[in-house]
Amino acid sequence: MSTMASTDLATAVEDAAAHLYVWALKDIPQDLRDALRDAMGRETHKVGKRILETINTNVSVADEQGNLVCQDTGIAVFYARVGERFPLHPARIEAALREGTRRATLEHPLRSNTVHTLTRKATGDNTGHRIPHIHWEFVPDWDGLDVKCVPKGSGSENMSFLKMLVPADGVKAIKRFVLDSIVGAGGKPCPPGIVGVGIGGSADLAMHLAKEAIARPVGTQNADPDVAALETDLFGLLNDTGVGPMGLGGDTTVLAVHVEQAHTHITLNPVAVNYQCWAARRASAHVSAAGDVDYDREA
């Protein structure tokens, strides 16, 4: 492939990243809109219903004004599915995603949140050392690239939890840990949102799986029937807690519970919880080997 073709493809990925970041922050997916509207119709708690009405109004105002749904522009997290025959090397893809994030922040402009962990010095453009964070998946016998941007605000990210449970305590212990985590979080992660649960693997993989789970559309279930049953059980249990919208009481504590799992060691039972606030923002695009970009709201 010529240098010119490689440059054009890198520019296409960069443009896609810039668009996805802003799009995700302004226009929440339809499945989430439906879930918020349905929750408003079901809510019986007076304060909870009023909060859900306000949230739905917030979404409508953002649409009408072409504005951000929430002022916290978060940290840009990207999920990249790369075909083995996609012409652009992952190192170039990473550089393009980073530059797209920087451009979106400066050109829109967006609030910049990224700082040095110790000095707290701001970078000014929502990039930094190892930020934006990119999760990679490589697909054999394919020449395309799928990119999903999931901006993650600090209110929900601060309510992330990990525990190494005793395998003998079984599924009951998993449910107890998730319940304790969400009840303890209260209104801090801006409920109702999506609860992502990662089980199995190792400590770091469990947390990765929990983050992956929050990026699924509302209404989807895990393909494993045992895991899907756990999702259903947790959804009911969490909404029975009465935490409610913004932690002020009500029937709707979560809009969805998504669980992702990996096989693990015989003596391990890691469980991670990652919360996504009510503005569960995500946006996706497909980039062809020729550099054509196809945007997909619902992926």
Percent of the chain topping pLDDT 90: 96
Same-domain status, 122 and 18: yes
* Residues ≥6 apart with Cβ < 8 Å to 26: 62, 66, 67, 68, 69
Same-domain status, 182 and 165: yes
For residue 296, what pLDDT is reported?
A: 82
Residue 35 lies in a domain: no
pTM given for the model: 0.94
Tell me the average pLDDT across 150-165. Answer: 96
Between the alpha carbon of residue 287 and those of residues 27, 77, 101, 142, 294, the distances in Å are 21, 18, 17, 12, 6
Same-domain status, 118 and 11: yes
* Residues ≥6 apart with Cβ < 8 Å to 111: 71, 72, 73
Same-domain status, 173 and 134: no
pLDDT above 80 (res 128): yes
Domain count for the chain, please give it: 2
Backbone angles phi, psi at 28, to 5 degrees: -75, 155
Residue 114 lies in a domain: yes
For residue 298, what pLDDT is reported?
A: 65
Same-domain status, 163 and 144: no
Q: Which domain holds residue 114?
A: 3-26+70-151
**Is there a contact between 249 and 242 (Cβ–Cβ < 8 Å)?**
yes
Tell me the average pLDDT across 68-97. Answer: 97
Nearest to 69 by CA among 182, 187, 193, 157: 193
Same-domain status, 159 and 147: no
Same-domain status, 101 and 172: no
* Residues ≥6 apart with Cβ < 8 Å to 91: none
Beta strand extents in 125-243 (DSSP E only): 133-139, 145-149, 161-164, 193-201
The conformation of residue 103, written as its DSSP 8-state character, comes to: H
Same-domain status, 125 and 204: no
Tell me the average pLDDT across 228-251. Answer: 98
Rounded Cα distance, 101 and 25, in Å: 12
Q: Of 134, 151, 168, which residue sits at a domain end?
A: 151
